[in-house]
Structure 1
Amino acid sequence: MSVCFNCQKKEKNSNEIKKYKMEKNFIYGIDFNIATPFEILVNDAPVIKYNEEGSMSGFYPINELLINNKDQEISVRLYSEIGKEFIAEDISKYFSLKLVLSKDVNFEHFKEIQNIKIPEIIKNTPYIEYKYHFNIEVPYQLEGWINSVDLTKENKEALLKEVKMYYQKIYGILNKGDYSHYSKIISKRNHEVLVAYYDSEIIKKEQDELLERITTAQGKMKPIDFNKYNLKIYGNGRLVTLEDEKGDSPLFCITEEYEDYFGIILYRPALGAPLEVIR
């Protein structure tokens, strides 16, 4: 079930759709605390997926997903808890989702600009989606996937085969510890993320840490079992990725201390062009 919340409430609450003007070097994010399995997407691009028991909370910056100055969309998909047939009727008591503005990606200090609500009672459904629209002006322009190919019009079997081959190639690069090759593959993503966060030192540090991550991953990458992963198309048909039920990437290594995942989102920049990493 999918509900356009703003459309549903338009007559009674016309101020649900607001326009925000980005102040210089400010960062948009979402602040959430949700006590049921869920997904959050911005402009139909994945932000977070949670598919476990209990609640999940956190802050996520979303500037890199604001690829134009037009209408922006935040979607929240709610699912029933593990072992339960339906979403809890009173889940709204345990649901918080806010659009916030901060001066840095750590969100140490932030301003709430929209408190997103869901109905007080949700009856007899294992899944429901709500969409919220905002007109956000940002002081940068990302090409992103705006002019890319609509992948839903392609042959699904051929697309899946190409995606698997791409992941297998990336797996080999990471397992060899080939930082130079991998950094070239994700260069467009890195460039746009830096633009979206105004050359943030925090983002630069994260990108610099990639060398250490890939060095550590050398010889430790887990072989991909494609049976555990599904093809997912996002971005209104223009983004594609592989993920498991938890939303995790097939590209990961396991060390004695932690698991490290290398997530990628692909797009086709033009008809006949090969897939590339964009996020």
Structure 2
Amino acid sequence: MKKYILLGLILSLSAKAEKKTEPVVSHQNISVTSQEIRYSDNEPHYGAYISTSNCSFEILINDIPIIKHNDTSGSSLSGSYFPLNEWITKKGNQKIIIKMTPGFNQDKNILNTELSPNSEIQVKIVKSLKNKSGNSEEDEVRKYSTSKKKRINSNTFEDAFTFFADIPYHIETLENAEVLLTTDKDKLQAIEQEAVAKYNKVRDIYMKGSWSTLANIYYNREKRVAKQLFLLPDEIKNRWNEYVFRTNTDITFFDVKPIEDYKMTFYGDGKIVCLQKINNEKSALWGGFKRKGKDNVTTTYITLYLYRPKGTKELEVY
């Protein structure tokens, strides 16, 4: 994965929120999605338990981020679980990339310039299956630790390992996608303009568009994820219900900020592009909302990965 820092100050799209109330998702979308899922007796769920100590880090699966953490307080993970199926597209070996950089020095209240002797990342890959009684049973697939790995540089460490995933589905979306990453500056600029236009289009929908228009934008992604997670109809509906939209009846305030001060980042072996804020490397599509009965505004970062199917001209949501 390579990153290109591209500053952008995009004009704000002013819009007033609609006051009408719309259904969370149409019944048509739910039925079509659930009908296209093939259920089987073999429905494994893969996940990673991650523990860290005294470091900032990024962990990716198949070149797509699982988690990225910049340590600014000395915090760490202690066996936190992260589901992986959404980024596993077919049966076979899955590649995990580990990136570790210095953590926070609590005694001096500054970021360390070098990795400490106790800087460490541990990853345990597990596979969960339901037994005959319907209960989930978890088996360990692979363990990994940076503790016994030789460090060449004092301020950064990167390594990778693989594990085998035996899953019944085959998602061909990225196999049929163009490679967007290029060294051609003119092509990079064109991709940036397309990505910014798509982000602004989605922002515009959030700010003044209809829920059905937003659902159409995300429909193919939700259909893919439903297959990867073996979701039942009620679970599919619940995922749609989790989308925060300004016309939801329990939302009293909703705002998405202009797309600005961003960098363009490529994932998925150069087939996925996204825009991230420079200051925290989170999605450049972000804002805040307030629910009924709540005093505080909740900040939300809306992940938006884009790809281009081969033979087409438009970037689509992955």
Q: For 1:226, what is the secondary structure of its paired residue?
A: coil
Instruction: Determine what percentage of the aligned residue pairs are the same residue.
Output: 25
Structure 1 segments unaligned to the other structure (5+ residues):
1-21
Identify the structure with bigger relative contact order (alpha carbons < 8 Å, sequence gap 6+): 2
Q: Which residue of 2 aligns with 1:100?
A: 126
Cα-to-partner distance string for 1:14-64 (whole Å, 9 max, x where unaligned): xxxxxxxx9711200111121321111110011111113321352111112
Q: Give me the whole-angstrom Cα distance separating, in 1, the residues matched to 2:198 and 2:160.
A: 32
Higher alpha-carbon deviation: 250-259 or 200-209: 200-209
8 Å CA contact 1:176, 1:218 repeated in 2: no
Matches within 5 A, 1:182-193: 182-193=214-225
Q: Which residue of 2 aligns with 1:223?
A: 257
Per the TM alignment, residue 100 of structure 1 is displaced from its structure 2 partner at its CA by: 1.1
1:251 aligns with 2:285: yes
Q: Give me the whole-angstrom Cα distance separating, in 2, the residues matched to 1:231 and 1:147.
A: 22
Q: Give me the whole-angstrom Cα distance separating, in 1, the residues matched to 2:144 and 2:41.
A: 21
Q: Give me the whole-angstrom Cα distance separating, in 2, the residues matched to 1:64 and 1:71.
A: 15
Per the TM alignment, residue 137 of structure 1 is displaced from its structure 2 partner at its CA by: 2.3
Tell me which protein shows more helix as a share of its residues.
1
Matches within 5 A, 1:72-91: 72-82=94-104, 83-91=111-119
Q: Give me the whole-angstrom Cα distance separating, in 1, the residues matched to 2:192 and 2:176.
A: 21
Q: Give me the whole-angstrom Cα distance separating, in 2, the residues matched to 1:60 and 1:264.
A: 19
Q: Which residue of 1 aligns with 2:68?
A: 49
Q: For 1:246, what is the secondary structure of its paired residue?
A: coil
Q: Which residue of 2 aligns with 1:148?
A: 177
Per the TM alignment, residue 108 of structure 1 is displaced from its structure 2 partner at its CA by: 8.0
1:33 aligns with 2:55: no
Q: Which amino acid aligns with 1:131?
A: A
Structure 1 residues 56 and 214: CA distance shift in structure 2, 3 A: farther
Per the TM alignment, residue 110 of structure 1 is displaced from its structure 2 partner at its CA by: 3.1
Pairs aligned (count): 251
1:133 aligns with 2:162: yes
The one of 242, 253, 264 equivalent to 1:209 is: 242
8 Å CA contact 1:88, 1:122 repeated in 2: no
Cα-to-partner distance string for 1:206-252 (whole Å, 9 max, x where unaligned): 22232x5443579732322421x211100001011112353421222
Q: Give me the whole-angstrom Cα distance separating, in 1, the residues matched to 2:142 and 2:246.
A: 39
Q: Which amino acid aligns with 1:221?
A: D
8 Å CA contact 2:306, 2:317 repeated in 1: yes
Q: Give me the whole-angstrom Cα distance separating, in 1, the residues matched to 2:272 and 2:225.
A: 16
Q: Give me the whole-angstrom Cα distance separating, in 2, the residues matched to 1:230 and 1:24.
A: 41
Larger Rg: 2
Q: Which residue of 2 aligns with 1:263?
A: 303
8 Å CA contact 1:197, 1:203 repeated in 2: no
Structure 1 residues 218 and 161: CA distance shift in structure 2, 3 A: farther
Per the TM alignment, residue 176 of structure 1 is displaced from its structure 2 partner at its CA by: 1.8
Cα-to-partner distance string for 1:105-158 (whole Å, 9 max, x where unaligned): xx9863322111224364642222111122322101112211200001361111
Q: Please, what TM-score do these two structures have when normalized by structure 2?
A: 0.71
8 Å CA contact 2:246, 2:253 repeated in 1: no
Which runs of structure 1 show a deviation greater than 6 angstroms over 4 or more consecutive aligned residues?
A: none
Cα-to-partner distance string for 1:246-278 (whole Å, 9 max, x where unaligned): 342122222334222221111000244210001
1:160 aligns with 2:192: yes
Q: Give me the whole-angstrom Cα distance separating, in 1, the residues matched to 2:119 and 2:235.
A: 35
Q: For 1:90, what is the secondary structure of its paired residue?
A: coil
Q: Give me the whole-angstrom Cα distance separating, in 2, the residues matched to 1:108 and 1:87.
A: 39
Matches within 5 A, 1:189-200: 189-200=221-232
Q: Which amino acid aligns with 2:115?
A: I
Q: For 1:237, what is the secondary structure of its paired residue?
A: coil
Structure 1 residues 215 and 116: CA distance shift in structure 2, 3 A: farther
Structure 2 segments unaligned to the other structure (5+ residues):
1-39, 105-110, 291-295
Cα-to-partner distance string for 1:68-103 (whole Å, 9 max, x where unaligned): 2233101111111252111223223xx321111124
Q: Give me the whole-angstrom Cα distance separating, in 1, the residues matched to 2:172 and 2:308.
A: 13
8 Å CA contact 1:50, 1:56 repeated in 2: no
Q: Give me the whole-angstrom Cα distance separating, in 2, the residues matched to 1:263 and 1:221.
A: 16
Q: For 2:200, what is the secondary structure of its paired residue?
A: helix
